[in-house]
Structure 1
Amino acid sequence: MAIVDSGERKAKALSIGDFFFKLPSQGRLAAYLFAMCFGAGVILRLIAGSGALDALIFGGTEGILLLAGPALVAAVLAPPLFASKRTLKHFLFIAVMASAASILVFAAGTLSVRSLGMELLNFVLVGDAIVFLVWFAACFFGLGLGISRSFAVALVHPFLNVAVLFIWARFGFFASALDVGSPFLAFVKILLAAGVFLSALWAISYVINAPAKKNFGISTVEAVVLFFSHMVRGGKGLEEVLAEFGEDVETTVGAVTFRRKNGSIKSVFVVPYVHFGPFGNLGGSEFPALIARDVEARLGAPALIFHGTVNHDFNPVYSSSESLLANAVVGMARRERKAEGRAAFVSDSSGRVAGISFGKDGFLTLSLAPEGTEDINLAIGYALRYKAEAAGFGHALLVDRHNSCTDGSLLEIGSPPYYEFEDAIASMTPPAAASQKPFKLGIASASLPFTREQGVGAMGLRVAVFEIGSKRSCYALVDANNALPELRGRVVSLIRRHGFDAGDLMTTDTHSVNTLSGVTNPLGLHTEQAKLLSAVDAAIHRAVEDAEPCTASFAEQRIRLRVFGANRQSELITAINSTVSVAKIVAPFVFIAALALAFLLLTVI
């Protein structure tokens, strides 16, 4: 295959992400609710024929007391009554949306009463049934509360609406057109209308779910629910769906253990041949931070987690699989004692393949920067690795620097970039033992003052400095998903200003930063670059001071785990996006039919 453009892949993955946005603060949502309901009360009075002053005073009061009041109380009661861990902000937003929907129905009813002489009561009851539907759909699909809890939460707001209207009709200071008569009968009618809407919702779910259930063996409606649940509240239920989608494989994890002269471990370079995705906290997305934390706690030495030559096909299904990798790394670090104390820098003329030869073992890094650097799949990685071993390296660990995010291309067999890598590796051979020299290694770690939304994962920053004879090299590794080329250029310039002969910025390709930003959230896009460069600068200083003579030992181990499998992520994304796309078409027609049926039902009762 030739080069495959990644733009379409990203666009497809982004389509469902369009539904996500950051909610305003609780205070703003409450202000929006009161302002909307006050304005609605005024407008409803004006439509009914009241004067401007009367509408402003009495209509505004009705809006605040009869519309905003029940909505606010329902939002406040939802978390404690139903043991939800969601913040008040989520329920306030649902209350605002439900109130907006009911206001539209009330407005239509008021116009119908004025122009057609229709009864307003049925519009009030249908409006409350729609309030129920909005709450149920938001809690079930958006918050993943399950059917029973979503049903219970959805009852509160319409119940309060009926109760407040009944009390106001009996004890209010002035008459309101929003009267429900018998509260018991009104609530029964609301439940009947809500039943019509729930039946419509079930019909929509059945229609859009059946093809995917037949073709993929999973419920895409369930996948959508769990996807929204993950994005909103970090739930991991989607991992079980991914497990049905995935397959068991064997892959490897490589480790270079550096020891001081006294034999204690200085640092461990870890190269897991799994992909750190798919997104958020699912699967392997947080593996760089989790593996580093686990290994460092058990070995008492800093761990640098690099991005191996793998793509999304090797996304682990379960986040708990991290322990398999960490156990393997710790075991190799404690077990391996055959160490090499001499090294030499190796690189092709372009610098696209560069690294260090420790005796005959090679730690080789790859990048097309400043051109786009995308994932390198495992098969291509093995082909390049075998090329390195054919060139004379006894053991070669290949690392994807993943440091230049553009609208570039995926690396495939037969593409020009592949042959550039192949030719570069073929031109390199391990320097003769006589030309290799003792080396020093310095390590510095730093937690960065950035959030995941700003493009930085929990592992933060690691800087490794190598001194071999009179030459020096520096690696700045950030827990991020790729980097803007201009930021990478600024980091390289910073490294050069420190007097290093070579060096580069690297990222782990963590997909934990791919939350609300879709599939593209590279380092530097939402990151304050000056602050990041300052942190890198300080870490380089500390790493230089930390440099001391070391030895290196290579090891690699096979592990068995469950991963997405070939093209599975794109299939899942396609299934979810298809579900959403079909729902956009089917839902309006079904909802209109349900609305007409609900009105007809309430009319004949």
Structure 2
Amino acid sequence: MVQKGKTLAGISRYVRKSPKWYYFLLPVVFIFLIDYIILGNFPALSIISIMPFILLLIIDFGTIRFTNKKFNNNRIMYLDFVSLCLATLFFWIGILLNPIISMPYYYILALAIAFPAFLRFLVLYIYYPSSMFTALLLSMNYTFSYIIIALVFYNINHIATRFIVPLIAATVIYVMFSYMFLLFTTIGFTKKYKSRPSELIDFFLNRDNDGAIGEKFFSHVYNKKKQIPVVTTNIKKGNEGLVTLVFPYVHPGPFGNLCTSNLPIKISSELGMDNIMVFHTATTNSNNCSGKDDIKKIAASVKHSLEKMKYSDFVSDFVKFHVDGYDVSLQKFGNSGISAVIPYQKSFDDISLSAGLKVMKALIKNGAENFALLDAQNSFTRDADELDNCDMIINPLIKEFKSTDSKYPAFIGYARSYEKIEGLASMGIQALVLKINDYYNAIVLTDSNNISRDIIKMARAGSDKRVKNMDIYTTDNHVVNVGELDINPLGMHCDPGPVAELINNTVLKAIENSGPATIGTHTEYINVTMGEENAFHNLMETVLLSIRKAKYSIAFVLIISMFISVLSFRYIVFHL
């Protein structure tokens, strides 16, 4: 079984970026040098090794790049380098074993040249999910390059049965077994999700994908109707809106711009509001929604709440306490409140919807008019498990809620800043400050998928002396994931210093913009289409099962394909 906390970040090690072309130069020279020692002369080296490899590069650049713009130059160079390595290694082993297998060198060469077709088809199948025939033909390009070279330098009557026919036969056998291997390892995935895994992998590997493939696939994952709360808090200065806080019990994923990924800007655009903070509530990747209709429903619920809510002039001080290895914060607006669970001694990644709703219902049962539980998502820890039980915080939180009074006049400021920073999405950095006596409490929200601890430490250390408490949360926005399977937390691929400075500048702007305010909160319940409980874990389990099947069966399939290729030579080709 897959662990509860397993995410696609955890399987990112199975996808690697292609190295730059210059890393292949020395290994290729080394391969040609060994071939020269084996073959004994440069003309043979040129015909058997150098020219076919150069021709392969030309053919692949001409065919693959022409038919698939996503298969970039580095990928072609890498694929061709690996093809050369596989063929060469097979040839060297065949030469060493020739005293045992007693096979002519040109048959060993044919088997070696055909061998890379197995891997090439596995790779190209991903990039041509709707054109199996194209993937099949392109996987044979190494074979075609040798056939062309052979026809240029040799008489076809002399080489047709001794080289070309064996080469084509072996290539077809390897491609056939490669296809059978794919069917075997992915049959569970295909049955469960009614989609070829190549289509989904193609989406992950290509940043410029239009999303149609991903939307089609995830419609099979996120397809259950569920009622969820949307809590809205509106803050006004006089008769003008200062900022609206939205707490939708919907997860902002899964990837790129798909489904409810990029949720903050989508809600902002749907409402036509720039001054809006969309927080990450107690939800997991199983609670991603299917698409645009759900965004419209969330936006409509916010509008309804704005029409119905009652306003208060008072807020509480900011409270934070420890429970069972976690920090728990509390901020009350009138008789409503928000609370965030924050990693302290224990790490986690996402809080289950059922656990969050249980806390919410307990607080409302004990006097809260409205309540939202947040996942701060502010302490990046790779492969952290989900938090699927929050029972330990319920009684302490009820106690704090009852003992914490909203007795301070609401004096609130808001600001939003944006700079183009790796890992920061379009809503940028937002700050909400509440003045309590002569100091401020700041709630900062970064539109990112988690954040590094370094940024938080630097921001707190450099904050204005008037700021007594600063909590930094993230939207958990999965839009920054689009280029790879990793989660790309803010601070991992950028200098944390400028981010911390931008946070503090935004807080200062919010302080300068602060003034007397009124606050209203209301909760609406809507029906959305999201994944069932553990939907994302089931997806991970299915993907990893396919990977395990591939890992444990690849050697067997390769051996069988090689054995049949050799048999076809001995009992078919030798008799032509």
Q: Normalised by the size of structure 1, how large is the TM-score?
A: 0.81
Q: CA RMSD in A?
A: 3.6
**In the alignment, is residue 276 of structure 1 matched against residue 252 of structure 2?**
yes
Look up the equivalent residue of 1:560 and give its one-letter code: N
CA change 1:573–1:161 in 2 (3 A) is: same
Task: Choose which of 422, 429, 447 in structure 2 pairs with 1:479.
Answer: 447
Aligned partner of 2:312 in structure 1 is 340
Secondary structure of 1:462's counterpart equals strand
Question: In 2, distance between residues paired with 1:470 and 1:79?
Answer: 66
Listed as ranges, the matches of 1:309-328 within 5 Å are 309-316=282-289, 318-320=290-292, 323-324=295-296, 327-328=299-300
Aligned partner of 1:28 in structure 2 is 22
Q: List per-residue Cα deviations over 1:101-157 (Å, max 9, x = no partner).
A: 222233344446688663233233333333333322111136646413312332444
Aligned partner of 2:34 in structure 1 is 43
Q: List per-residue Cα deviations over 1:255-285 (Å, max 9, x = no partner).
A: 223333243x332222120122344555434
**In the alignment, is residue 362 of structure 1 matched against residue 330 of structure 2?**
no
* Structure 1 residue 335 displacement after superposition: 4.1
Query: Structure 2: which 5+ residue stretches go unaligned?
Result: none
Secondary structure of 1:22's counterpart equals coil
Look up the equivalent residue of 1:460 and give its one-letter code: G
**In the alignment, is residue 599 of structure 1 matched against residue 576 of structure 2?**
no
Listed as ranges, the matches of 1:250-261 within 5 Å are 250-261=227-238
Listed as ranges, the matches of 1:225-240 within 5 Å are 225-234=198-207, 235=209, 236=211, 237-240=213-216
Listed as ranges, the matches of 1:89-128 within 5 Å are 89-111=74-96, 118-128=103-113
Question: In 2, distance between residues paired with 1:319 and 1:167?
Answer: 57
**Contact 1:163 / 1:183 at 8 angstroms: preserved in 2?**
no
Question: In 2, distance between residues paired with 1:12 and 1:410?
Answer: 10
Query: Structure 1: which 5+ residue stretches go unaligned?
Result: 1-5, 171-178
**Contact 2:315 / 2:333 at 8 angstroms: preserved in 1?**
yes
**Contact 2:140 / 2:171 at 8 angstroms: preserved in 1?**
no
Aligned partner of 2:347 in structure 1 is 372
Q: List per-residue Cα deviations over 1:382-437 (Å, max 9, x = no partner).
A: 22223322343212233222223458764344xxx63234312333238667x341
Look up the equivalent residue of 1:578 and give its one-letter code: L
**In the alignment, is residue 422 of structure 1 matched against residue 389 of structure 2?**
no
CA change 1:10–1:358 in 2 (3 A) is: closer
* Structure 1 residue 181 displacement after superposition: 5.1
**In the alignment, is residue 394 of structure 1 matched against residue 394 of structure 2?**
no
Aligned partner of 1:488 in structure 2 is 456
Question: In 2, distance between residues paired with 1:464 and 1:143?
Answer: 48
Q: List per-residue Cα deviations over 1:480-521 (Å, max 9, x = no partner).
A: 3334445434433334x4421222111222344557886665
Q: Normalised by the size of structure 2, how large is the TM-score?
A: 0.85
**Contact 1:310 / 1:376 at 8 angstroms: preserved in 2?**
yes
Look up the equivalent residue of 2:410 and give its one-letter code: P
**Contact 1:271 / 1:307 at 8 angstroms: preserved in 2?**
yes
Listed as ranges, the matches of 1:173-212 within 5 Å are 182=159, 189-210=166-187
Q: List per-residue Cα deviations over 1:430-488 (Å, max 9, x = no partner).
A: 8667x34132222122235224xxxx445432222223553411112123333444543
Secondary structure of 1:420's counterpart equals helix
CA change 1:325–1:210 in 2 (3 A) is: same
**Contact 1:41 / 1:61 at 8 angstroms: preserved in 2?**
no
**Contact 1:460 / 1:479 at 8 angstroms: preserved in 2?**
yes
Q: List per-residue Cα deviations over 1:49-79 (Å, max 9, x = no partner).
A: x2xxx5xx55665577413312211331134
Look up the equivalent residue of 1:72 and give its one-letter code: L
CA change 1:121–1:273 in 2 (3 A) is: same
**Contact 1:346 / 1:428 at 8 angstroms: preserved in 2?**
no
**Contact 1:462 / 1:476 at 8 angstroms: preserved in 2?**
yes
Secondary structure of 2:251's counterpart equals coil
Percent identity over the alignment is: 16
Aligned partner of 1:304 in structure 2 is 277
Look up the equivalent residue of 2:379 and give its one-letter code: S
Look up the equivalent residue of 1:270 and give its one-letter code: V
Look up the equivalent residue of 1:82 and give its one-letter code: T
* Structure 1 residue 238 displacement after superposition: 4.6
CA change 1:554–1:143 in 2 (3 A) is: farther
Task: Choose which of 530, 550, 556 in structure 2 pairs with 1:583.
Answer: 550
Question: In 2, distance between residues paired with 1:7 and 1:151?
Answer: 34
* Structure 1 residue 564 displacement after superposition: 2.3
**Contact 1:277 / 1:512 at 8 angstroms: preserved in 2?**
yes
Question: In 1, distance between residues paired with 2:461 and 2:546?
Answer: 47
* Structure 1 residue 8 displacement after superposition: 4.8
Aligned partner of 1:173 in structure 2 is none
* Structure 1 residue 308 displacement after superposition: 0.6
Aligned partner of 1:546 in structure 2 is 513
Aligned partner of 2:119 in structure 1 is 134
CA change 1:60–1:498 in 2 (3 A) is: farther
